[in-house]
Amino acid sequence: MNRSPDGLPPLREVIAEHDLAPRKALGQNFLFDLNLTARIARSAGKLEECDVLEVGPGPGGLTRALLMEGARRVLAIERDSRCLPALAEVAAHYPGRLEVIEGDALKIDPREKLTAPIRIVANLPYNVGTELLIRWLTPAEWPPFWSSMTLMFQKEVAERIVARPGSKAYGRLSLLAQWRCEARMVFEVPPQAFTPPPKVTSAIVHLAARPAPLYPARADLLERVVAAAFGQRRKMLRASLRALGGDAEALLEAAGIEPTRRAETLDLSEFCALARAFEAR
């Protein structure tokens, strides 16, 4: 039997042995190239003194890379029970360093099983990726339980995370991410890297948690202001912010913002000023 650099069978053999055809309903697209998964793992930074949370490990390609790159411990949440035997083989190869939880990552709180510092590294299932990201970006307290996230998304979503004011991609996701994190796109991943190949290019995004948000604002009010502003992004703010109730023009005046501007022209500091004015009125 052929062996990979980590001494385990190649992923194609693992998938064939366990009959792990990717399921569209679970948003599964498997990465076979261990050079690529190693590159993703290295993008997360030094892992030797970190616990790593991985969501959607599938047959374990990225999991193996994280362990090879020296992760102190990996906690993997996998919804597809078919993948558990393959992951058990990885766990046996790295005694005491991999724990797998079967279940839905949207319903599991992994914090009690992790020891800081914690990094999140994942090729997220496409159907839950954005929802998980927003949850991780909007905890009740900040700093969060994680120090950084290195995540794969569809390129379109990755562009929204790192977008700047004035661009088409700029919006709610850009502001939520950049208010509390340093966000950058690391590299793109072509469709042919996956089985089955998705119809879109993917990209790796790295988000490092800031010690405190970039500008003062109440998180819940900032979310409301941003949601209202981009809910009707083609309209002037004096119209779109009516969704908040009250006098939108007075709110904009209190924040020092022209009422004829549109949401995509405001930078993060201006949205935070709006959230503070909304709180004070």
Give pLDDT tens digits for 244-267. Answer: 999 999 999 999 999 999 999 999
Residue 1: the pLDDT is 53
Find out whether 268 and 171 touch, Cβ atoms under 8 Å. no
Which residue carries 């999140």 as its tokens? 120
- Among 16, 196, 9, 31, smallest CA distance to 123 is for 31
* pLDDT for 99: 98
**Following DSSP, what letter does each residue of 240-252 receive, concatenated?**
HGGGG-S-HHHHH
Please tell me the pTM assigned to this model: 0.94
Residues of the chain with pLDDT under 50: none
Cβ atoms of 36 and 64 closer than 8 Å: no
For 75-95, the pLDDT digits (tens) are 999 999 999 999 999 999 999
